[in-house]
Structure formats: structure tokens, C-alpha cells
Amino acid sequence: MKKNSGSKGQRFAIRAAFTAIFGLATTAHALVVETDIDGSDAIWLAGRTDLVIPAANLPWAGGMIRHGGPTPEEILETLPPGYAVSSGDIVQVLDPASGGISFFNGIGGTYYGPEGNGVPGSSSIGSFGGISGYLGTQGALVGVFLNDSVPIGPAPTTLNFQMPGSVRTSPS
């Protein structure tokens, strides 16, 4: 005589629990990237493949502003690094970031950390090429998320970081 091992509902529940337990035993994968961000990396150049960066002593076409004339610390802007992510990926920036930036390319002056010079509203930069403007501390470490298209068209409203310790994850 065959022994009854439970109803179909009970067998399904046991099978589902078994699958759930062993499904959790799969290995999680993470890509850890450690990178340097150069002080010359211009956030408004993120995702741009359509621009040629002019020599440091020449003006930008299209509205990006440099010093009014040549200065001893002239430095050529560079493209910031980019990393491909997909929908559903979790991106986490480790805190604290470390390092420093000199507004004078290492020729005198103070070095500031990732939070910039710490003076709220000391930097007010307009939008450029589809990337919003910035109002916050001078020299702060910032980032943007873009799709595969060159950022063009109207930019979102200026991101305002005037309050000490403020963190913004989206424009308002």
C-alpha cells in the first residue's frame, strides 16, 4: 500500500520552501571599483563625445566659463570617468571619500577635501549642455547619472547645496 505523503498543497509548500532556502544560497556578485577623480574632471563634460576641449588659455564655445584671461594655474579640463550601470543595479559610493583639490593647480593656496571649501553658496555655476547648474561649496565632489545619449537640450533646475551637510539625489 502506498503511503500518502501529503496533499498537493503541502507538497507544493515544501517544494517552494526548499527552493527558497537553496535559492538564497547562491553567490552574490559585486563589482567594486576604486577610482581617482582628478580636479580637472569637469562634471559638465560628463557623457560628452561631441566637444573638443580647447587649450587652457582659450575660451570655451557654447557658454562654459573659464578665467577671464590666462592665469598661472591654467589647467586643461578633462572628461570625468564613466561606468556603465543597468536598471536595478545598486550603486553605492563609499563614505568618506578622501583626497583634496587645489583651486590653483598646486601653486599655493589651500587644499580642500571632497566637501569643497565648506562655504555654502560660494560656487554658483550655470547649466551647460543639458546638465544642471550647481549652487554649493567651491570644489565639492559631485556626480551625475546619464543614459547613453549626449546630454543636450534644456537642463534641469540648478541643484542647490547651500545648506551645510545637504545631500541631493535628484533635481527639484
Q: Where are the domains of the chain?
A: 32-167
CB burial of residue 161 (10 Å; 0-12, 13-18, 19+): buried
Helix, strand, coil percentages (3-state) for the chain, rounded to 5, are 10, 10, 80
Q: What is the pLDDT of residue 7?
A: 43
Q: What are the mean pLDDT values of the chain's consecutive 10-residue runs (172 residues total)?
A: 43 43 55 80 85 82 68 78 84 76 72 85 85 87 83 87 61 42
**What pLDDT is recorded for position 19?**
42
For the chain, the C-alpha Rg in angstroms (whole number) is 25
- Residue 86 is predicted with a pLDDT of 83
101-102 and 111-112: which strand pairing? antiparallel
Q: How far apart are CA 50 and CA 47, in angstroms?
A: 9
pLDDT value of position 69? 63
Residue 171: the pLDDT is: 45
